[in-house]
Amino acid sequence: MDLKEKLVSSFLAFENKVDIDAYAHDVRSDAIKIFEEKGFPSKKDEAWKYTSLNTILKEDYSVFPKQENALEYHQVKKYFIHDIDTYKIIFIDGKYSSHLSQTTHDGIDVCLMSAALSKPKYQLIIENYFNKAAEKDSLSALNTAFSQEGAYIHIPKNKVVEKPIQIIHFSTGNESATMLQPRNLVVVDENSHVQIIERHQSLTDNPVLTNSVTEIFANKRAIVDYYKIQNDKETASLIDNTFIKQKRESLASVHTFAFGGKLTRNNLNFYQNGERIDSTLKGITIIGKKQHVDHNTLVHHIEPNCESHQDYKGIFGDRSTGVFNGKVVVEKEAQKTNAFQANNNILVSDKATINTKPQLEIFADDVRCSHGCTIGQLDESAMFYMRSRGIPEKEARALLMFAFSNNVLESVKIPELKQRITKIIANKLGVNIGFDL
């Protein structure tokens, strides 16, 4: 039995054991039909032309981990941004960890999807928002069919959340191979502001496949800053599907720091439904060995006087592979749109590969839209200059690569997170640099 058959045959048993309302039941039933019809994507699909799932789908994954494994804080402290006070929603092998978490219902809801899907007091939000942004592609539908646990965040009107929220999913390796399907829902109401940091972290060398879906709704004049840290083991694969719907005058930004795993696919989709919206998509990728990272982005400009900014930097070594497939769609009504898209890459190995495809589809005639990509190597004249000033070659290369990624780092709004990312980059480049960018 292959993985698709295993998932479809497991659906009824899953539905019977979870506590959900009638609306969620109907949504799940429709979703499993979509997945059964479409199956897993292949390289025959244009959006997956450069990324094959074959190597990760051959594992015999446990769909429902049978055991719960407790973790102590000291075992996982290094994966937290522990320099600052944060709310925390922590999961271990797909199960909520109450003793590692710090949630709240004090004026805001920072809690669990399982509670939101089963308790009547959340029913209105669930019916208005759950599965209303996610596309009906096969992997998102698969997650919807099995959605049970994840983060539920609702920020009511006129609230500035006093501290960031960390969402961390740990996998411990209780099973020989594990598949996880977390589901996050973030609703930020009018004039509210929230900062969120998300991480998926394997603690085992056993294969792990995570198929995650996050839906984010930024209502009028809301501000959402979302940060993704992807620095996993070489046996862990992540398919990260994020859908963001914005309303008038909202600001939403997503920074993706992709430093590895076996295979990482980031599907990031922004939908602008209103005027004077600003959308920001930025990312840094640094990988080596045979790692594979694929960024697939969409910004859909639907109404006039809006902006979007995409800036992705990639550094690829050894036999690693990078993919960037970014699309900007500007509808006829979306006049005065200002859209920028850039993908710049450095290959530090002759055997590394980058496939980049920036795209613009413009149906309006009064817009400012630009896109571009570069693929190259480090500037030899800059290297010579730094070496002539007494900087060793390894440190000189690292400094140039830090400078290359700096304009993405400088827009990170949480200083402690910026410091953490800087240290991870230095570690990836194999140097110890005594300053923060």
pLDDT tens digits, one per residue of 314-359: 999 999 999 999 999 999 999 999 999 999 999 989 999 999 999 9
**pLDDT tens-digit readout, 259-277:** 989 999 999 999 999 999 9
Q: Indicate the pairing of strand 263-273 with strand 236-247.
A: parallel
In this predicted structure, what is the pLDDT of residue 437? Answer: 39
Which one, of 225, 235, 110, lies nearest residue 167 by Cα? 110
Which one, of 351, 434, 424, 436, lies nearest residue 395 by Cα? 434
405 exposed, middle or buried (CB, 10 Å; 0-12, 13-18, 19+)? buried
Q: Cα-flanking dihedrals φ and ψ of residue 101, to 5°?
A: -100, 160
* 3-state class percentages of the chain: helix first, strand second, coil last, to nearest 5: 25, 40, 35
pLDDT tier for residue 405 given thresholds of 50, 70 and 90: confident
Rounded Cα gap, residues 301 and 341, in angstroms:
14
In this predicted structure, what is the pLDDT of residue 63? Answer: 87
In this predicted structure, what is the pLDDT of residue 434? Answer: 54
Rounded Cα gap, residues 212 and 142, in angstroms:
10
| Residue 360 DSSP code | E
Which one, of 339, 368, 378, 371, lies nearest residue 357 by Cα? 371
**pLDDT tens-digit readout, 16-63:** 877 666 788 889 999 999 999 999 999 999 999 999 999 999 999 998
Which one, of 348, 352, 322, lies nearest residue 404 by Cα? 348
In this predicted structure, what is the pLDDT of residue 336? Answer: 97
pLDDT tier for residue 435 given thresholds of 50, 70 and 90: very low
Rounded Cα gap, residues 295 and 311, in angstroms:
11
Rounded Cα gap, residues 157 and 107, in angstroms:
10
**pLDDT tens-digit readout, 150-188:** 999 999 999 999 999 999 999 998 889 999 999 999 999
Question: If you average pLDDT over residues 204-226, what whole number do you get?
Answer: 97
**pLDDT tens-digit readout, 369-400:** 998 889 887 777 777 767 787 777 777 777 78
Rounded Cα gap, residues 223 and 249, in angstroms:
9
Q: Name every residue whose Cβ is closer than 8 Å to that of residue 260 and which is 6 or more positions away in sequence.
A: 230, 231, 232, 234, 286, 287, 288, 291, 293, 428
Q: Name every residue whose Cβ is closer than 8 Å to that of residue 235 and which is 6 or more positions away in sequence.
A: 202, 204, 205, 206, 207, 208, 262
410 exposed, middle or buried (CB, 10 Å; 0-12, 13-18, 19+)? exposed
Rounded Cα gap, residues 150 and 134, in angstroms:
15
Which one, of 149, 199, 208, lies nearest residue 173 by Cα? 208
The gap from C-alpha 433 to its chain's centroid, in whole angstroms, comes to 27
Question: If you average pLDDT over residues 73-97, what whole number do you get?
Answer: 95
Mean pLDDT for the chain? 93
